[in-house]
Structure 1
Amino acid sequence: MRRVNGVALLSRAVVCMGSSTAVGGATQQRLVQAAMLNTCSISNPLWFTRRLGDHFGLSKPSVSCGAGGHVCFSSNATSLAQEVHAQDKFLPKDVELYQYEACPFCNKVRAFLDYYKIPYKVMEVNPISKKEIKWSDYKKVPILKVDGEQMVDSSDIIDKLFQRINPENNVVNGEEEKKWRGWVDNHLVHVLSPNIYRTASEALESFDYITSHGNFSLYERIVAKYTGAAAMYFVSKKLKKKHNITDERAALYEAAETWVDALKGRQFLGGSNPNLADLAAFGVLRPIRHLKSGKDMVENTRIGEWYTRMESSVGESARIEA
């Protein structure tokens, strides 16, 4: 009975869970030149090369000099070099993320770590027993441990990491960036649960993903998939009412179109490169991308091209084996 009753805890946990740039050839050449000129002063040139590839889709860099042997810089190259130097100052030895695989707030943090290529270990938390975080007074996820220091709350974690990467930047984000980060946390996240648990079949699809990627015993997986899916199907109806949602898909599509409108024709909200708002929106949407709700969203709105650019820019996961 204790295990079955634990599904109520799982349901509450899942409420939390639910609640490549195109560059011209000449520009590429200038970026490569700038990169090669700066690698001599970077302690981790392999990391730098990887960041170039993630940002601009470059293969092996090669150097050729301009007239008189001078190397030309573009403003984008200078910006990238500054970012690399900033990143080079923040090299934590041990980063551990305590998470639920499908939690949108956890995925926000992962998107940030992946984009900045900060290697991290994942500690998947059992949402029923939460034994993995018994050491902490904070009983929610995500929790990030950086060289033994505990950080909590996804937005606060990202702010602290960003300031350590950019210690000379006292302003974490501008007004536009701040506005849309708030929109992600206070609006976008809330339209997800009513969509991923919209029907019985979608609820089962979602829990199949959650239990396949989560930290469950075989017994917990079976109980959670069917009992949890049924519970969240009904919980999602309450969430729909709480957030004044009349049509789940319409709300999701509207949110996606609102985000695309916010880009104002830019590749990213941050311009030529993603900013923290881009990473937040991408992070919370990533768990649903290949569920029916996410597929419907991409097929019925304009968000797909931005999402694809984000996938290319964020690149491969920086996750390492624990």
Structure 2
Amino acid sequence: MRRVSGLATISRAVPGAFATPAAASATHHRLVQAAVTSASSSHLFSQMIGGDRSAVAAPPAPYGFAGTVFFSAASSSLPQEAPPAEKLLPKDVVLYQYEACPFCNKVKAFLDYYNIPYKVVEVNPINKKEIKWSDYKKVPILNVDGEQMVDSSDIINKLVQRIDPGYPTSDADEESKWRGWVDNHLVHVLSPNIYRSPSEALESFDYITTHGNFSFMERLVAKYAGAAAMYFVSKKLKKKHSITDERAALYDAAETWVDALKGREYLGDSKPNLADLAVFGVLRPIRNLKSGQDMVEQTRIGGWYSRMEGAVGKPSAIKA
């Protein structure tokens, strides 16, 4: 895991298009300040994958299932020391999540990489009693020092702006392009692969037996009813997104990402950027499932994924 002491500052080589003789001057260091710190089943999918704005929305599912920055090179010359990290770091961070939710895992990858301590509360996907206090009924929900944040990309943007108020917010750069690709494409090929067969659907719900303070009956219902519902949802999503071969679509997405690296260790060059963290985050919950194993074996993504595992480390959350 990337350990940070004080306000983390990542030194990166600025792409040639932005380089000037003045920028190369020894008196102006290029730095990027990074944060340290079957017909109604689609709604179930939108809930189970996290309910971000890019998720599929449809009427409630049966049986009460509620649904299951390129840092922009942001190089700047700093004439003085940055503010003390303790003035910027969140003090109390709690993530309300589904363990297998790709959007929730995207947020966790960010928190883990920047070594921001946080607690997790596993939400029951059936009754969602753990978030009854909130008007927002999807996950992830992140409470940061008493402030509620929702939608994974918005959460990450707010955390970056909190730590570095001058962080660029352009939607036109390489990093933003690939962050959008994660939300608008990559996540849509995951469900048809994760729930491709009844056995794979059940495998994906095994987490429910070990996460959360659920009763035996709640675990049983969530695992089997959830797996059955998601199996049928995946077939609808496959048709919706014109996927004819689930694995081929997954492999193509993995290869597309590797091509985007253009031989670099990460999209962010020598260090992961927010796009790297987003791709890694949504893929992390499937890595040890059959779909994830097949992806690593059949594509070139394994090298990058292993580097990301080393950079991000294991999830460091404490169960609340």
TM-score normalised by length of structure 1: 0.73
Residue in 1 that maps onto 2:220: 222
Kindly indicate whether residue 187 of structure 2 is the aligned counterpart of residue 189 of structure 1: yes
Select the residue among 191, 205, 208 that pairs with 1:207: 205
The Cα shift of 1:227 comes to 2.5
- Alignment size in residue pairs: 256
Determine helix, strand or coil for the equivalent of 2:205: helix
Q: Do the aligned partners of residues 248 and 210 (structure 1) sit closer, same or farther apart at CA in structure 2, a change above 3 Å counting?
A: farther
Structure 2: runs of 5 or more not aligned:
1-40, 56-76
Is 1:136 matched up with 2:131? Answer: no
The one-letter code sitting in structure 1 at the alignment partner of 2:258 is: V
State the one-letter code of the partner of 1:244. Answer: S
Pairs within 5 Å for 1:261-272: 261-272=259-270
Shift of 1:231: 1.9
Contact 1:86 1:165 in 2 (8 A): no
Q: 2 CA distance for matches of 1:235 and 1:194?
A: 8
Structure 1 residues 228-307: aligned runs within 5 Å: 228-307=226-305
Deviations 1:144-203 (A, max 9, x none): 111101111100000010112222334477610000000000000000000011011111
Letter in 1 for 2:47: A
Of Structure 1 and Structure 2, the greater helix share is in 1
Question: Is the 1:100–1:214 contact (alpha carbons within 8 Å) kept by the matching residues of 2?
Answer: no
- The alpha carbon displacement at 1:234 in A equals 1.4
Aligned to 1:69: none
Q: Go from structure 1 to structure 2 and tell me whether the alpha carbon gap of 1:214 and 1:10 turns closer, same or farther (over 3 Å shift).
A: farther
Structure 1 consecutive aligned stretches of length 4 or more whose deviation exceeds 4 Å: 7-12, 15-19, 82-89
Identity among equivalent positions (%) equals 76
Q: Deviations over 1:29-68 (max 9, x none)?
A: xxxxxxxxxxxxxxxxxxxxxxxxxxxxxxxxxxxxxxxx
What residue identity is the alignment partner of 1:149?
A: E
Q: Distance in 1 between matches of 2:280 and 2:136?
A: 26
**1:14 maps to which of 48, 66, 70:** 48
Partner Cα separation in structure 1 for residue 81 and residue 127 of structure 2: 41
1:154 is matched with which residue? 152
Task: Give the letter for the 1:180 counterpart.
Answer: W
The 8 Å contact of residues 125 and 222 in structure 2, kept in 1 or not, is answered as: no
Contact 1:86 1:167 in 2 (8 A): no
Alpha-carbon offset, residue 224 of structure 1: 2.3
Contact 1:87–1:166 (8 Å) recurs in 2: no
User: Which residue of the partner structure matches residue 121 of structure 1?
Assistant: 119
Partner Cα separation in structure 2 for residue 174 and residue 312 of structure 1? 29
Cα distance change, pair 268–83 in 1 and its aligned pair in 2 (3 A): farther
Question: Contact 2:124–2:214 at 8 Å: present in 1 too?
Answer: yes
3-state DSSP of counterpart to 1:213: coil
User: Contact 1:104/1:287 (CA < 8 Å) preserved in 2?
Assistant: yes
Deviation per residue, 1:98-155 (Å, 9 max, x gap) = 1111100000000000001110010111111111111111111111111101111100
Change (3 A) 1:104 1:256: same
- Tell me which structure has the larger Cα radius of gyration: 1
Moved more, 225-234 or 142-151: 225-234
Check the 8 A contact 2:196/2:231 in 1, yes or no.
Answer: yes
Q: Name the CA shift for 1:318/1:229 in 2 (closer, same or farther; >3 Å).
A: closer
Q: Say which is worse superposed, 310-319 or 277-286, in terms of deviation.
A: 310-319
Shift of residue 8 of structure 1?
A: 9.8
Question: Structure 1 residues 306 and 102 mapped into 2: Cα distance closer, same or farther (>3 Å)?
Answer: same
Partner of 1:95: 93
Distance (whole Å) between structure 1 residues aligned to residue 170 and residue 113 of structure 2: 16
Task: Give distance in 1, aligned partners of 2:82 and 2:319.
Answer: 25
Q: 1:8, 1:217 → 2: CA distance?
A: 26
Paired letter, 1:167 = P
Quickly say closer, same or farther: Cα 1:247–1:184, change in 2 above 3 A: same
Range with bigger deviation, 283-292 or 132-141: 132-141
Q: What is the TM-score of this pair, normalised by structure 2?
A: 0.74
The answer as to 2:312 corresponding to 1:319 is no
Query: Residue in 1 aligned with 2:106?
Result: 108
Amino acid at match of 1:318: S
CA distance in 1, matches of 2:310, 2:239: 36
Give how far 1:226 is off.
2.1
* Structure 1 range deviating more: 281-290 or 312-321: 312-321
Check whether the contact 2:160–2:167 (CA below 8 A) recurs between aligned residues: no
C-alpha root-mean-square deviation of aligned residues, in Å?
Answer: 2.7
